[in-house]
A and B are shown apart, each in its own frame.
Chain A
Amino acid sequence: MERLLDDSGKLLVLGNEAIVRGCIEAGVAFASTYPGTPSSEIGNTLQKIGQKAGVYFEFSTNEKVALEAAAAAAAAGVRSFAFMKHVGVNVAADPIMTLAYSGVDGGMVILTADDPSCHSSQNEQDNRYYSTLSLLPMFEPATPAEAKEMLKEAFKVSEELGSPVFFRTTTRVNHARGVIENTKPEREPTKGKFVKDACRFVNIPAFARMNRLKLLERNEAALRISESSPYNTIEGDGQVGVITSGVSYTYAKEWMEDVSILKLGMSNPLPEELVAYFIRDKDLVVIVEELEPFLEDQVLRVARQNGISTPIFGKRTGHMPRAFEYSPDVISKVGVVPVREGKEPLQAPTMALPSRPPMLCAGCPHRGTFYALKKAVGKEGAIYSSDIGCYTLGIQPPFETADFLLCMGGSVGAAGGFSAVTDQKVVAIIGDSTFFHTGVPPLMNATFNGHKFVLVIVDNRTTAMTGHQPHPGTGRNHGGRDTPALAIEPLVKACGVEYVVTVDPLDVKSTQKAIKAALEHDGMSVIVSQGPCPLELKKRRVLKVSTYAVDQEKCVKCYHCVEALACTAFYRDGKDVKIDADLCIGCGVCADICPRGAMGVLE
């Protein structure tokens, strides 16, 4: 990773690392994010090497804050970079829409990491529409190497226009790996100086109306840039045309034969004249783009406006799928374009195979929380309003502690709604990082409106799912000093909740008792279930491992442990339950719940 700091040399890197190198070469002075897959490794990398490259980098409490801070940095004249996963842009959308009116002085790039096929997401929204909604230009790289170079171009265009620009990646760019060649940074990070200009930066209605007109002018200027952008290129001279952007380009390039490809690296504004020129004399044109017909609808419009009757195939004609990410297989099935033939694949498995969904890790403190929660709730049951994080995996049996899930912080708001209209017990579950992200306002809402539910804050002292980033509850080492860790209990009390108890989820019995009491409390109650993520401790090399084993003579083969805990360290050896010594870290929850006390620390 340190080699990303070198000003020459070839490196094999993850797309997200290539993006960090692009930031360094572009002289980015300010970068901010809230972690989210598939963009997370950008932050992890900047956290490690950003300071050495002179990049101020912060993990912000959420994407909206990250965006606002980056906007101010760019308004003060430095190059700034705000990056987030696609749904994070929803959180940041409010400031983006008005920032488009203000514009920026220093270059500003907003990276949206989309996730077609929902590899690690709750939806596969196509964020290219944010660029047309906000009238901000957009770039779409196809490979890690291109991402690094294109990012520099995006900053140039941003400064030329005085406008932030979008940089849209997808999982197969962020998590692709490819070779980049480091070059000398074009400039060094600079210090900012904010020059007041209320007409631009304070969008009261009178100014907003003026700035709306200026935004439209910038959009026209962006169109002219797009028409001659070095990233909007035509390759090949076949009579069949392909218009594509992002990673889909690589599939079209490698699998479609005898085609001419219009690759749109700067895809908003769509270069209308270039598109009209490209499609005019083709026999047919296929639009190869993942998710929504974003390019296709615009190409159809350009064709109509220019009186071009070339047949255009895509999602509107049913030739290209709209759902899920593309792949070489998708390209091979288009039908109207000749493709490179491959060998006959072997038959897919005929035998039933066990499923392997992602699971809570061995030693995960959430396991203790969920076990205690289910016991405390009992047969009567409850509505489990869940949130975004590792604990969403509680949806799996045996816990099934996720009945409703929308978005970051959504568990708490939704629990209020359930409690208002039903007589059912309502339990909301949220992680520590997610609580700080967007969980606090809905908790205030709950006390303000007199809702009654139990909020369980599963506080594992990190942002675990995305790779263990710090958050306000952990503090961080930032700019050479340690920032304070914000305590959750006082924050909960300040939101007006009087009933708040902190428990240790590895002590299952006490946790169960505390949750039961909270469920019986007449009013809002909050349980802070605090146990550190063992993976994070392992990374920091402070995890103390002891290994448990089953005393087969005491074990009565009731299988309560495997059925109720489903720890990944358990395995069956005939009738015996055994514990995999390589996986067990000694959390001791199984020993706590075994009715015969058959689990003990292995000597």
Chain B
Amino acid sequence: MRYCVQIAGVGGQGVLLASNVLGHAAMAAGHKLAMSEVHGMAQRGGSVLSTLRFGDEALSPLEATGQADILLGFEPVETYRMLNLANKDTHILMNLQPTVPVKVSMGAEEYPPINDIVSNIRSVTDRLITLNATELAIKAGKAVAANAALIGAVAGVEDFPLERNLLEETLLDMVPERFREINAKAFQLGYETVRSV
């Protein structure tokens, strides 16, 4: 068995924390795993990608194009940019909250309408689930818990090989004590959003 989660986002959004939570949960469940992360220059607000592969045969830190089981997108444009990491069976979870690049604010480039991104993705797959993780996090108590909502969303994916409770415990172990309650709530809201689709 091999299972792959690709996480796309913007440097500084918490992609590393999310991949770390999933990785630790996979280890706790007794899987072999291999991950790769982006550190260094791209962390200064650039596009970043984390890869998590687990299962009996996971050795390579990178996955081939099109072979993700889950594509978790922290940001609409970054999710869409990485679309060819997915195939028709890939569960695509996309946060609808945009992080607008500076060149767009400067008027030098355009950020496409989010509805267009959604419809473009839907035109090639019926496995897209969207959520506004920031709104869910605010509902849970604080915008910084958007991460937790997205991890909860992964836990809600059909046939995801790691237990929901294991993911939640791993996450709560890794966040500061005073944010645990908010993170638990955000996790649950993300989980429910995916389950209710």
Contact = CB atoms under 8 A, between A and B. Distances in A.
A360 B44 contact: yes
Q: Interface size for chain B: under 10, 10 to 19, 20 to 34, or 35 or more residues?
A: 35 or more
Nearest to A326: B62
A177 interface: yes
Q: Interface size for chain A: under 10, 10 to 19, 20 to 34, or 35 or more residues?
A: 35 or more
B40 A38 contact: yes
A342 B57 CA distance: 15
A582 B97 CA distance: 14
Given A38-B40, A120-B40, A562-B106, A346 B45 contact: no
Contact of B66 (A175, A342, A361, A582): A342
Interface in B80-137: 80-81, 83-90, 100-112, 116-117, 120, 124-125
Interface string B14-45: 00000110011001000011111111111111
Interface stretch (A67-75, A347-355, A433-441, A471-479): A347-355
B23 to A, nearest CB: 5
B60 interface: yes
Interface string A568-589: 1011100001000010000000
A143 interface: yes
A501 B64 CA distance: 54
Contacts of A570: 102, 105
Interface string A21-64: 00000000000000001101100000000000000000000000
A255 interface: yes
- For A119, A354, A361, A397, the residue with the greatest tally of chain B CB atoms inside 10 Å of its CB is A354
B10 A356 contact: yes
A568 B43 CA distance: 14
A350 B81 CA distance: 10
A179 B105 contact: no
Contacts of B116: 351
Contacts of A175: 36-39
A555 interface: no
Nearest to B78: A356
Given A177-B36, A359-B44, A254 B66 contact: no
Contact of B106 (A143, A348, A566): A566
A354 B40 contact: no
B166 interface: no
A80 to B, nearest CB: 25
A139 interface: no
A465 B102 CA distance: 20
A176 B35 contact: yes
Contact of A37 (B41, B102, B112): B41
A172 B45 CA distance: 21
Contact of B120 (A351, A357, A566): A351
B102 A566 contact: yes
Given A250-B59, A250-B60, A353 B77 contact: yes
A466 interface: yes
A251 B62 CA distance: 8
Contact of A568 (B42, B60, B102): B102
A357 B46 contact: yes
Nearest to B59: A250
B61 interface: yes
B38 to A, nearest CB: 7
Given A357-B46, A358-B43, A346 B84 contact: yes
B124 A346 contact: yes
Contact of B109 (A14, A40, A355): A355
A177 B37 contact: yes
B64 A466 contact: no
A356 B75 CA distance: 12
Contact of B42 (A172, A329, A358, A577): A358
B11 interface: yes
A393 B80 contact: no
Contacts of B42: 119-120, 358
Contacts of B157: none
A356 B35 contact: no
A332 interface: yes
Contacts of A14: 37
Contact of B67 (A37, A343, A348, A567): A343
Contact of B102 (A120, A349, A351, A359): A359
A52 B60 CA distance: 33
Nearest to B104: A354
A344 B66 contact: yes
A175 B37 CA distance: 6
A351 B103 contact: no
Nearest to A578: B105
Contacts of A398: 106
Interface string B166-184: 0000000000000000000
A247 to B, nearest CB: 7
Contact of B39 (A37, A343, A345, A356): A37
Contacts of B86: 345-346
B105 A253 contact: no
B143 interface: yes
B39 A358 contact: no
A255 B83 CA distance: 22
Contacts of A343: 66-67, 87-89
A178 B105 CA distance: 39
Contact of A347 (B84, B102, B111): B84
Contacts of A572: 100, 104-105, 107
Interface in A455-487: 465-467
Interface of B: 10-11, 19-20, 23-24, 27, 32-47, 57, 59-67, 77-78, 80-81, 83-90, 100-112, 116-117, 120, 124-125, 143
Interface of A: 10, 12, 14, 37-38, 40-41, 119-120, 143, 172, 175-179, 247, 250-251, 253-255, 327-329, 332, 342-361, 390, 393, 397-398, 465-467, 559, 562-563, 566-568, 570-572, 577, 582
15 contacts: A176-B37, A177-B23, A178-B33, A178-B61, A255-B60, A342-B67, A342-B87, A344-B87, A345-B84, A348-B83, A351-B80, A351-B112, A357-B46, A361-B45, A559-B106
Given A250-B60, A254-B60, A570-B105, 6 more contacts: A37-B40, A175-B38, A177-B36, A247-B60, A353-B81, A359-B45
